[in-house]
Amino acid sequence: MKNSYDLVVIGGGPGGYEAAIRAAQLGFSTACIEKRIHKGEPALGGTCLNVGCIPSKALLDSSHRYEATRHELAEHGISTGEVAIDVAKMLERKDSIVKGLTAGVAGLLKGNGVDWLQGWGTLLDGKGAEKQVKFTAHDGTETTITAKYVILAAGSVPINIPVAPIDDEYIVDSTGALEFKEAPKRLGVIGAGVIGLELGSVWRRLGSEVVVYEAMPEFLAAADKDIAKEAGKLLKKQGLDIRVDTKVTKAEVVNGEVVVTTDVKGETKVEVFDKLIVCVGRRAYSEKLLGENSGITLTERGLVEVDEQCKTNLDGVYAIGDLVRGPMLAHKAMEEGMMAVERIHGEKAQVNYDTIISVIYTHPEIAWVGLSEQQAKDKGYEVKTGSFSLSANGRALAQGEGQGLIKVVADAKTDRLLGLHMVGVGAGDIVHQGMIALEFVSSVEDLQLMTFAHPTVSEAVHEAALSADGRAIHAIQRKKR
């Protein structure tokens, strides 16, 4: 380990490790400080690889296969014997995927010449030209390192709420919900956001009766209303009991059960569960990250204050990912990491915050990019929309996936595409077409004039664009053009 680097990254999550690799590619001598110990081993990859995106998707995939094998094969004429799930094996598979990926990141850092310093990083002083960073190894040894540039990438942790204290056995956060040894018979979930819906879906598919409590009056308020409505209908049909406008006021463990008290428009209700998952959001994590004289400004909400290019109030110090404003998403963190490094290198890199995609990996997936119809109206656009149901899409039907819809939102005056929204099979991938179209400032007509392969689910994007002008072919539209 050296005592001086060009660039030190604190945090080895997707934001931090990508920044470190990019910095090494650009010729900076680089260290990445990461303190995480996962299942007894030091681990890179942050929340995303260890307890977030990847393990949740591994469980979503296993549980989907289980459910599909039990309920969907018969109509294809495929019969199976009794189908069983071995939860221990499913968790083992998840763990091995995580291990492979985190080891891969360690290999990438090493291969690029980045020093991974295993322990805590604290920015002692970021004001001068030589920044001071304290590195505290896991054995407690402290070293002061100097760097010309520092990138803060310490990420986030789950928000705990006093009414439902986590005990890691009966009341758990998202990390605990990735480790249930068996599907709880009765499972409560606080929060119908992305994580609540994904983890609730995993355990429902494996046999849990799931109730999801949401304090907000609207389901998926962040999504376009039509998509949220359709998604809510589909998820409820699958058996997720989603209760909006329902505030959990108390959750306590009594004789090995979780007793949950809720307030529904002034009415008190009590329900009992075997496990309760609390996923009400995440907060930026800056514990031990900043020394008393770091000079860094935090916002009221405890985020590190940055400008559009992720520069903090101090020259040469950047902050990225979940630690700063904007959606808490791995791909946003990654892009910010690369932008910060390239800015330090003197380039004009930029993140387009208007085209950051949101995906909820339920089945079917829910995804969107750009403005919803309401957001577009609130911004003063005269809006036109077009939508197309997957129940009329040949490929979706052939796959047994004829549920959901695609919606385009556009500026009626200029025809410019403003947003693409979808609930349906493959939404998380298909929505990238919208992202590319938005980046290239496409019009709805552009989408109408392109030839989409048949039969594909993507054809529904074409039809939704045609429908914006009353021209969808596989739907009856009164307006003719």
Ligand X SMILES: Cc1cc2nc3c(=O)[nH]c(=O)nc-3n(C[C@H](O)[C@H](O)[C@H](O)COP(=O)(O)OP(=O)(O)OC[C@H]3O[C@@H](n4cnc5c(N)ncnc54)[C@H](O)[C@@H]3O)c2cc1C
Using DSSP's 3-state secondary structure scheme, residue 336 falls into helix
Helices (H), 355-471: 373-378, 394-398, 427-439, 444-449, 459-467
Interacting span for ligand X (CB under 6 A) from 64-72, 89-97, 216-224, 318-326:
318-326
Contact 334, 14 (CB under 8 A): yes
Q: How far is the CB of 89 from ligand X (least distance, A)?
A: 21
Q: How far is the CB of 333 from ligand X (least distance, A)?
A: 4
Question: How many degrees, rounded to 5, is the angle at CA 293 between CA 129 and CA 310?
Answer: 60
β pairing state of 267-273 and 317-319: unpaired
Q: How far is the CB of 24 from ligand X (least distance, A)?
A: 17
Interacting span for ligand X (CB under 6 A) from 69-77, 325-333, 345-353, 377-385:
325-333
Rg (CA), the chain: 24
Q: Which amino acid belongs to residue 354?
A: D
Report the site for ligand X in 344-373 (rule: CB under 6 A): 361
Task: Provide the mask over 175-214, with x wherever binding to ligand X is found by CB under 6 A and - wherever it is not.
Answer: --------------------x-------------------
Identify whether 454 is a catalytic site residue: yes
The count of C-alpha atoms lying within 13 angstroms of the C-alpha of 117, restricted to the half-sphere facing its C-beta, is: 30
What angle separates helix 459-467 from helix 427-439, to the nearest 10 degrees? 60
Using DSSP's 3-state secondary structure scheme, residue 355 falls into helix
- Catalytic entry in 38, 64, 71, 454: 454
158/316 with CB nearer ligand X: 158
Looking at 311, 325, 331, 345, which residue binds ligand X (CB under 6 A)?
331
Q: What are phi and psi of 140, to 5 degrees?
A: 95, -5
- For 316, residues 6+ apart whose C-beta sits below 8 A from its C-beta are 126, 129, 131, 148, 149, 150, 344
191/386 with CB nearer ligand X: 191
57/416 with CB nearer ligand X: 57
Q: How far is the CB of 475 from ligand X (least distance, A)?
A: 32
Report the site for ligand X in 233-292 (rule: CB under 6 A): 285, 288-289
34/224 with CB nearer ligand X: 34
- Residue for token digits 């879906």? 201
Task: Provide the mask over 101-130, with x wherever binding to ligand X is found by CB under 6 A and - wherever it is not.
Answer: -------------------xx---------
Count, in order, helices (H) and strands (E) of the chain: 12, 23
Contact 355, 341 (CB under 8 A): no
* Length of the chain (residues): 481
Looking at 153, 278, 367, 465, which residue binds ligand X (CB under 6 A)?
153
Helices (H), 131-265: 194-205, 225-238
Report the site for ligand X in 32-61 (rule: CB under 6 A): 33-36, 46-48, 51-53, 56
Looking at 304, 306, 330, 351, which residue binds ligand X (CB under 6 A)?
330
DSSP 87: H
β pairing state of 417-424 and 405-411: antiparallel
Q: Does 329 bind ligand X (CB under 6 A)?
A: yes
Looking at 328, 349, 390, 418, which residue binds ligand X (CB under 6 A)?
328
Q: How far is the CB of 102 from ligand X (least distance, A)?
A: 10
Interacting span for ligand X (CB under 6 A) from 251-259, 295-303, 320-328, 348-356:
320-328
Catalytic residue numbers, as ranges:
454
Task: Name the site residues for ligand X (rule: CB under 6 A).
Answer: 10-16, 33-36, 46-48, 51-53, 56, 120-121, 153-156, 174, 195, 285, 288-289, 321-323, 328-331, 333, 361
